[in-house]
Amino acid sequence: MINVQQIKPDMPVVCSQNGQFAVVDHLEGQDSIKLKKDKTGKHHFIPVSWVTVVDEMVHIDRPGTQAMQQWRTEN
């Protein structure tokens, strides 16, 4: 189990294929990670349950394309 307190703003978010697809804005509670705005100006959210490892980056358990299809978008 990961320690969510290790997840810090500005950390790169890396998919299971080792490609960066986002950057952490901040934690939303204990269950969600709010990502920095994308090029369209929208924030996205991913669940902490996707996170497999936290080192200098946040690693998730799925490819970036799948994560981007499944993330929640701020209205």
The answer to the question of residue 1 being in a domain is no
Euclidean distance between CA atoms 61 and 16, whole angstroms: 5
Residues 20-32 have pLDDT tens digits of: 999 999 999 889 9
Tokens (6 digits) for 65? 């394309």
Predicted local distance difference test score (pLDDT) of residue 74: 84
Q: Which domain holds residue 37?
A: 6-73
pTM: 0.93
How many structural domains are present in the chain? 1
Predicted local distance difference test score (pLDDT) of residue 1: 75
Per-residue pLDDT, averaged over 30-59, amounts to 96
Per-residue pLDDT, averaged over 7-18, amounts to 97
Residue 60: strand pairing partners: 51
Residues 54-73 have pLDDT tens digits of: 999 999 999 999 999 999 99
Return the number of other C-beta atoms located less than 10 Å from residue 71's C-beta. 18
CATH number at residue 49: 2.30.30.240
